[in-house]
Amino acid sequence: MASKNGISRRDEDEVCPVCKSSRYLNPNMRFLINPECYHKMCESCVDRIFSSGPSSCPVAGCRKTLRKNRFRAQTFEDIGVEREVDIRRRVMHILNRREEEFDSKRAYDDFLEQREEMIANLVCRTDVARTEAQLQRYATENMQSIRANQAIEEEEASSFQARMTLEQEEARLRRQLAREQIENERREIQAGREDMLSRLASGSSADAAAIAREGHKVLLKKSSARRSEEDRIRQKQAALRGSELKRSGLSASADMASSSGLIKGLRKIKTPEPEKPYDPFMGYVPEKRDYYTLQQSYPSVYLDRVKNDTRVAAGGYDLREYYARTMVEAFAGLGCFVEDEVAQRSVA
């Protein structure tokens, strides 16, 4: 990289590596770079070579195809830093998960580490193809969540901006108000004093003390009125700030559910299941039986005597209870195969 000789470049003898014209000859010369290969060249060279469409880099040994619209001024003096910042910006743009999307702090930290690793891979040119492929796949798979997060970020940035300007505006207003107040106060005191002097001048000497007291009282009253006015203004400002906060809070709660193979530990966003109708027996149907259909009465010589006995019926005994129990016991466990089920039980 060009880090070794990048420091003393803004000199007069800075030379375009393509056309070899120096700043000495052309003091307005600007150098441009292209993020494809980061080779530096002067503005006139870019115009000359790339005006008629994409062309290959004129630097010897570099066969990258460059386009004119991608050329831009250099931000950092060091080309390496410039490149890293570009890569970082691009990767961060894609892998823009937010902390609140993760299950735990640990998962978020893992994600950050993974991102740094990818950036480092790209910067150091190790495993570039694989990393790029990963990025690409992630970008296509999580288009929506990336967009949503970008929107959130923008919103945050703009709201931050707005808040900053609002605060500045408030501070300015406060200062102005304070200035005006001081001015007003001064003027009032002046006026009061003048008024008092004039009254003293016109009145008798006996009234002097009374006039002086009255003037003092008026001054006090005015200052207390002013104070209440200040309070009112402060309250209004506080209310304004509160509404601002509420608005920003609403926009931040938009979250997106997405599954991706690349990032682990993302919080699962569950959609609540629709509530089922209430079933008091948990799926059990009280009267349902599988082996038999219960009848209202069964023919039995032995039971007929009981059935027709008023002494039994008077006690509240219902023969159907006997039928139900007897039939359940006749078939309870018919399909339970002890040999199999108990063997399974001992295994488990």
Partner 1 sequence: MIEDDIYRTSSQFRLWSYTRPALASLRTKTNDIASERVRAALQRARPAQQSTTPSAAGTPQPGSDGETKKPEEKQIECLTPEEELILVRYYCEKTLELGETYKPPLPTMVRATAIQYLHRFYLTNSPMTYHPKSIMACALFLATKTDNYYMSLRQFADGIPGETSTDDVISPEFLLMQGLRFTFDVRHPFRGLEGGVMELQAIAQGQAPPAPHIPNQTAQNLLQKLKSIAPPPIPSSSINDRIARAHGTTRETLKTAAQMTDAYFLYTPSQIWLSAFLLADKPLAEFYLDTKLGGPLTETIPDGDAMETDLKNPLYELRTKLFKVLTECSALLGAYTTLSSDPDQMKGLKRIAKKLYHCQNPEKINLKRDSGQPAVAGAADSGQVTSESESERLAKKRKLELEQKARSGASDMFGPELVAERTKQ
Catalog residues that contact partner 1 under the rule CB under 8 A: 284-285, 288-293, 295, 298-300, 303, 323, 325-339, 341-343, 346
Q: Least distance (Å) from partner 1 to the CB of residue 316?
A: 18
Please identify which residue in the block is written with the tokens 């007069």.
12
Q: Least distance (Å) from partner 1 to the CB of residue 312?
A: 17
CA distance 71 to 33: 5
Looking at residue 35, its amino acid is P
The Cα-based distances of 146 to 69, 156, 251 in angstroms read 26, 15, 16
Q: Least distance (Å) from partner 1 to the CB of residue 313?
A: 20
Q: Which lies closer to partner 1 via its Cβ, residue 76 or residue 291?
A: 291
CA distance 30 to 40: 10
Q: Which lies closer to partner 1 via its Cβ, residue 317 or residue 331?
A: 331
Helix orientation angle between 79-94 and 105-124, rounded to the nearest 10 degrees: 140
CA distance 37 to 51: 18
Q: Which lies closer to partner 1 via its Cβ, residue 252 or residue 332?
A: 332
Q: Which lies closer to partner 1 via its Cβ, residue 236 or residue 288?
A: 288
Q: Least distance (Å) from partner 1 to the CB of residue 310?
A: 23
Q: Which two tokens stand for residue 93?
A: 């743009």
* Neighbour tally for 251: CB within 10 Å: 13
Q: Least distance (Å) from partner 1 to the CB of residue 333?
A: 3
Q: Which lies closer to partner 1 via its Cβ, residue 136 or residue 297?
A: 297
DSSP string, 313-335: HHTT--HHHHHHHHHHHHHTTTT
